Amino acid sequence: MPGRKIPAWRVVCVMAGMLGKTLTVDAPQPLVMVVDDDADLLWLMQGALLRSGFAVQVSTHAPTLQAVRDAHPAALVLDLEIGQESGEEVCREVKQAGDLVGIPVLLISGKPGTALCGAAMQCGADAVLAKPFRLRELVQMAGKLLHRPAA
């Protein structure tokens, strides 16, 4: 619509080296919260999702339920093991919280396929992606979870 002003989204990055930096995009985009203790992989995933038109919030630590509520993500990408913390437990808590149950969760891990699938089934994850994976696979999976084509 000509002349229509679209508010910009501000996404605060909380990974090492990006703390306090704000990324502004021109139009509202679905927010994907990505959590992994590997800062290098997190940076790569963030870049791939941003280039594909998603807004991204990243963290190297498991988020609290309140942090998920505050972020209002359209999807959540969780590493199965986030340092000493459990992505499986975060997924279970999100899926049991009445106001968050509709957020699709993608569980990622370097564990063998059967262990990853078992964990995903136990916690209620919507999809799994085994490491190593291609960044394009991550973007496609995020698009499927949000019912939109990958860019």
Give the range among 43-52, 65-74, 80-89 with minimum mean pLDDT. 80-89
User: Between these two residues, 115 and 64, which has the higher pLDDT value?
Assistant: 64
Q: Is the Cβ–Cβ distance between 56 and 49 less than 8 Å? A: yes
DSSP percent split of the chain into helix, strand, coil, nearest 5: 35, 25, 40
**Mean pLDDT confidence for 111-122:** 81
Domains along the sequence of the chain with CATH? 9-145 (3.40.50.2300)
pLDDT score for 4 = 35
pLDDT score for 83 = 82
User: Between these two residues, 21 and 10, which has the higher pLDDT value?
Assistant: 21
pLDDT score for 110 = 86
Q: Is 146 exposed, middle or buried (0-12, 13-18, 19+ CB in 10 A)?
A: middle
**pLDDT of 21 higher than 90:** no
pLDDT score for 11 = 39
Buried b (16+ CB within 10 A) or exposed e, 83-106: eebbbbebbbbbbeeeebeebbbb
